[in-house]
Amino acid sequence: MKTERKLGKDRLVWMYTQMVRIREFEEAIKRTFLEHPGVIRGHAHLGDGAEASIVGTLATRNPKDWVMPSYRCHGYPIVLGTLLRKMMAEVFGRKSGLCQGFGGSMHLADPAKYFPGPSGIIGQSIAHATGAALTAQIRKKGQIVYCFFGDGAAKQGAFFESLNMAAVWKLPIIYLLENNQYQAYTHFRLEDANAIAGDPLSKKAEAFSIPGVTVDGTDPLAVYKSVAKAATRARSGKGPTLIESQFYRLSAHGNVITVPPLPTQFPEHEAIAVYGNRSEFEKGKSKDPLPRFRSRLLRAGALADSAAKRIESAARAEVQDAVRFALDSPFPAPEEAVHYVYA
């Protein structure tokens, strides 16, 4: 209740609104594979299940703090205020997209919103985010960096090297390890030494002598509380914190990788499709952060059911508008492909 009071009703409603907007966006992407086959190419990675973790984290953000996630990147710019029209148009490869169709789903970039854009190679963005924190430290304008990555990325060399350097240089950064239970298609209990030993993944922080915290990533207020502490530490020059946010990825790693002209589609979650473990998936789904936060706000009197319904239908309309806009947008001209090779 203390965190709720601290945030206030407007902020809580804002948080729920952002969570709903992310979910609606990701659901629309998934539907596009059925309704408009072939419109989304390559590999799209969805963040449904991560909404509470993303929004709880970014609720602590100041307007000029940088946000640098992995290639599973749709949720963050939605919270930063990037236009959904431009995001959807980029995912559909259109000229009106954020990156004019050059990047696609894995490479959304909106530097004007302090979102410089992720790498598609797992773990490598952790080093880039650490570099943004170096800029923040040198510029001395009070900025910090929010670096998001998955449990799989936490086994890359870039993770260990970056955390060491951030700790040595006391860089203003928060490492948000999104433990969504799967490294691509592999369950994290099959590939993570901490998990196999029965320890939380935040134990990795001990290797760098920095704080390591594990938090329930399905609870936006719990996430907020932990991240706020890490943000204060980063802003006061004390250096990085590693936060393991535990939640369950509600969609498969990404759409099926098919060779053209076979149409691509969104498969069932790995728990079912690979491991045949439907009960694990159902358990994960029962901890879906959206209905839980909704009923919590309703119980606390921060949100009326009618107001929640208005938020939900507004988000649906906003996303539908973005889909229409993207479908109606022209493709870039082919010869533009040789633009932007060099700055």
Binding site for other proteins (CB under 8 A): 41-42, 66, 68, 93-94, 97-104, 107, 109-111, 116-117, 119, 121, 124, 126-139, 157-158, 161-162, 164-165, 168-169, 331-343
Using left for φ > 0, alpha for ψ between -120 and 50, and beta otherwise, residue 40 falls in: beta
Question: Burial of 200 by CB count in 10 Å (0-12 exposed, 13-18 middle, 19+ buried)?
Answer: middle
Please report which helix (H) or strand (E) contains residue 214, including its range: strand 212-216
C-beta of 61 vs 294, nearer to other proteins = 61
Output 134 or 273, the one with its CB closest to other proteins: 134
| Distances 115 to 66, 174, 210, 256, 257 between C-alpha atoms, Å | 6, 15, 26, 28, 27
Between 163 and 223, name the residue whose CB sits nearer to other proteins: 163
Amino acid (one-letter) located at 281: F
Tell the smallest beta-carbon distance from residue 26 to other proteins (Å): 19
Smallest separation, CB 281 to other proteins (Å): 31
Q: What is the nearest approach in angstroms of other proteins to the Cβ of residue 144?
A: 12
Which residue in 298, 61, 13 sits closest to 174, CA to CA? 61
For residue 78, the minimal CB distance to other proteins (Å) is: 18
Number of residues assigned to the chain: 343
Which residue type is seen at 219?
A: D
Q: CA 39, CA 23: separation in Å to the nearest integer?
A: 20
CB of 131 vs other proteins, minimal distance in Å: 2
> Whose Cβ is closer to other proteins: residue 166's or residue 302's?
166
- Please, which residues have CB within 8 angstroms of residue 269's CB and are 6 or more apart in sequence? 249, 250, 251, 252, 281
Of 197 and 341, CB closest to other proteins: 341
Bridge-based pairing state of the strands 182-183 and 186-187? antiparallel
Write the DSSP symbol of residue 310.
H
In angstroms, give the least distance from the CB of 170 to other proteins. 12
Closer to other proteins by CB, 93 or 217: give it.
93
Compute the least distance from the CB of residue 284 to other proteins, in Å. Answer: 31
CB of 184 to other proteins, least distance (A): 17
Half-sphere exposure of 36 (CA within 13 A, CB side): 14
* Residue 51 vs 110, nearer CB to other proteins: 110
| 165 or 222: CB nearest other proteins | 165
| Residue in 294, 327, 337 with CA at minimum distance from that of residue 40 | 327
Residue position matching structure tokens 């902020």? 11
